[in-house]
């Protein structure tokens, strides 16, 4: 990851008029795919915790399981209009 000497947003999400989201990423923030994987896991845990704290999920294990399940589904068969970059 980048040093703290030059802190700038690396991920910016905007709501779209159709209800979707547009996400813009700085491809230079992470040095490798391993860092991306670690970031996504951390993000999943933060969102799972937030859903538990807000009462929208039973417990952390259930919330995280659902996040991972939907993530894997989206990776395997994207629902959005973006094309697979591979």
Domain span at residue 58?
4-76
Kindly state whether residue 19 falls inside one of the protein's structural domains.
Answer: yes
User: Which pLDDT belongs to residue 25?
Assistant: 84
Total number of domains in the chain? 1
Question: What pLDDT digit, counting tens, does each position of 39-81 carry?
Answer: 999 999 999 999 999 999 999 999 999 999 999 999 999 876 5
Kindly state whether residue 86 falls inside one of the protein's structural domains.
Answer: no
Helices (H), 1-86: 33-53, 60-76
**Burial degree of 67 (CB within 10 A; 0-12, 13-18, 19+):** buried
Kindly state whether residue 83 falls inside one of the protein's structural domains.
Answer: no
pLDDT at 6 over 90: no
Kindly state whether residue 11 falls inside one of the protein's structural domains.
Answer: yes
């Amino acid at each position: 990851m980048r040093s703290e000497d030059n802190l700038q947003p690396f991920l910016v999400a905007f709501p779209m008029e159709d209800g979707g989201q547009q996400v813009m990423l700085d491809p230079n923030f992470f040095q490798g795919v391993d860092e991306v994987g670690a970031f996504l896991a951390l993000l999943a845990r933060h969102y799972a915790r937030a859903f538990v704290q807000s009462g929208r999920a039973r417990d952390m294990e259930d919330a995280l399981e659902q996040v991972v399940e939907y993530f894997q589904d989206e990776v395997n068969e994207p629902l959005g209009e973006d094309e697979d970059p591979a």
